[in-house]
Structures are given as structure tokens and as C-alpha cells.
Amino acid sequence: MGLLLRDALGVFDDTRLVRSAFGKIELADGEAPSISISHGGSVAVLAVSDVARSVGGPIGVDIEAIDEIAPVAVERMVSDDERAWINAAPNLQERNLRLSQTWTRIEAILKAEGVGFSIDPRKDGMPGGWNASSVTYGRCAISCAARSMPRIVVKEHAFRVA
């Protein structure tokens, strides 16, 4: 993650970062844009809001390999409507994609809210006021959540560790 933060935001050390009580990493400067970080396998994602955190610009992102999410884990987190949509998929490949999109959307919203899985979405409900967008990148689903509809732009960065 350090290489991604350095390359995208010029963050060279941890002194410019803070961690919330629930583990969300942010830039220490309250006037800086909100960030969210996730990784899955060999892919890492960084979401950066286009407004400062201090004026309501929180953001959340999650990435998961499409075929690696355990259906039983998602079943415990999704609403009845989401479960019906997932189960209505015409084939296993589409079902796995829907499962991954739903899971990453839930996790992105919980990250944006700053609570992570300290709440149970089935029991407590999902925090309101969030919009989410999803894309597929290779065999991964990426979802991003923000107060306004997030626009996802994929930029590849190749890193070489010496």
C-alpha cells in the first residue's frame, strides 16, 4: 500500500496518515481529500475523493476476487432483495459476479461510513445517504461509495520492488 500512496498522493511515510478507531486510514490533514484503500491478491486499489474530508467528502472502496467470496458470508450480510437478485442470476458465473458486487458495495459503504464491520448490516441496517458504483477489473469486483455518485477511473500502476 505504501507504494500506491507514494505514487498517487506523494505520501512517503506513515506520519501523514491517521487511523480511526475502526481502522480506516486517512490523510492526517483534515483539509486533504478522503481516501480509502483495499487489496485483494496482487491488486490494490486507492480511492480518493474530489473534496476535502472536512466538507463531507468521505469515500470507501473494496476489491474482491470474483470467485473467492464465500456465499455463506455474504448471505449473512445481504438484504432479502439483494439475496433474491443474486439468486436470480442465470448461471454460476453471473451469480458469483453479483455476489462480489454486492459484497464489495456493502464493504465500501461501511468503510466510507467509517465503521467497518463494527455494525451488522442485516441486524442494524446499512448506513443511509451513500451512493455506490461498481466495476469489474480482471477477475475482481471493485466498488466505491461516496455521498455523491462516485465515478470510478482505473489507472494501472506497475511497481517494481528492488
Q: Give the DSSP per-residue string, 16-32.
A: GEEE-TT--EEESSTTS
Question: Is residue 161, in this structure, part of any structural domain at all?
Answer: no
Q: Residue 54 above 70 pLDDT?
A: no
In the prediction, which pLDDT does 108 show?
94
In the prediction, which pLDDT does 100 show?
92
In the prediction, which pLDDT does 44 show?
84
In the prediction, which pLDDT does 42 show?
78
Question: Is residue 20, in this structure, part of any structural domain at all?
Answer: yes
**Residue 67 DSSP one-character state:** T
In the prediction, which pLDDT does 93 show?
92
Instruction: Give the model confidence (pLDDT) of 145-158 as tens digits.
Output: 998 877 777 777 66
* C-alpha cell, 42: 496482487
- Give the CA angle between residues 154, 143, 31 to the nearest 5°: 75
Instruction: Give the model confidence (pLDDT) of 10-46 as tens digits.
Output: 777 777 777 777 777 777 776 677 888 898 777 888 8
In the prediction, which pLDDT does 97 show?
94
**Which residues span the domain enclosing 15?**
2-146
Please give the Cα distance from 105 to 107 (Å, whole number): 6
- Is residue 62 a contact partner of residue 39, using CB atoms and an 8 Å limit? no
Query: What is the tally of structural domains in the chain?
Result: 1
Alpha helices in the chain (DSSP H): 2-9, 71-75, 80-87, 92-113, 121-124
Length of the chain: 162
Question: Is residue 157, in this structure, part of any structural domain at all?
Answer: no
In the prediction, which pLDDT does 31 show?
64
In the prediction, which pLDDT does 90 show?
97
The stretch 106-116 carries a mean pLDDT of 88
- Is residue 106 a contact partner of residue 114, using CB atoms and an 8 Å limit? no
Confidence of residue 159 (pLDDT cuts 50, 70, 90): low
Residue 114's identity, in one-letter code, is: G
Question: Is residue 154, in this structure, part of any structural domain at all?
Answer: no
CATH number reported for the structural domain that contains residue 78 in this entry: 3.90.470.20
Question: Is residue 45, in this structure, part of any structural domain at all?
Answer: yes
Question: Is residue 158, in this structure, part of any structural domain at all?
Answer: no
Instruction: Give the model confidence (pLDDT) of 70-98 as tens digits.
Output: 777 777 778 888 889 999 999 999 999 99
